Amino acid sequence: MHQKELISVIKERRKVLGVTQEHLADLAGVGLRTLKSIESGKGNPTFETMSKLADVLGLEIKLVVRSTT
């Protein structure tokens, strides 16, 4: 899954659960400005930030490492 898809999943899950951006940011321990930037597609979140958001929303992020050879 690419970053844009992950952001879309996080945004949609937040909406399905009826959680505001403010509440999600607070629960995940990230800044509201950061969350808004991520959801608008303008941010460049760290894996740690995305992991925090996913955890609060009951999602799991899996990292797949592929060999280039």
Structural domain tally of the chain? 1
Q: What is the pTM of this model?
A: 0.83
CATH number at residue 37: 1.10.260.40
**How do residues 3-61 score in pLDDT, each as one tens digit?**
788 889 999 999 999 999 999 999 999 999 999 999 998 988 898 999 999 999 999 88
68 domain-assigned: no
Q: What is the pLDDT, as a whole number, of residue 28?
A: 97
13 domain-assigned: yes
- State how far the Cα of 13 lies from the Cα of 21, in Å rounded to an integer: 11
Neighbours of 23 (CB within 10 A): 14
30 domain-assigned: yes
40 domain-assigned: yes
64 domain-assigned: no
Cα–Cα–Cα angle for 13, 19, 21, nearest 5°? 95
Six-digit token string for 66? 């592929």
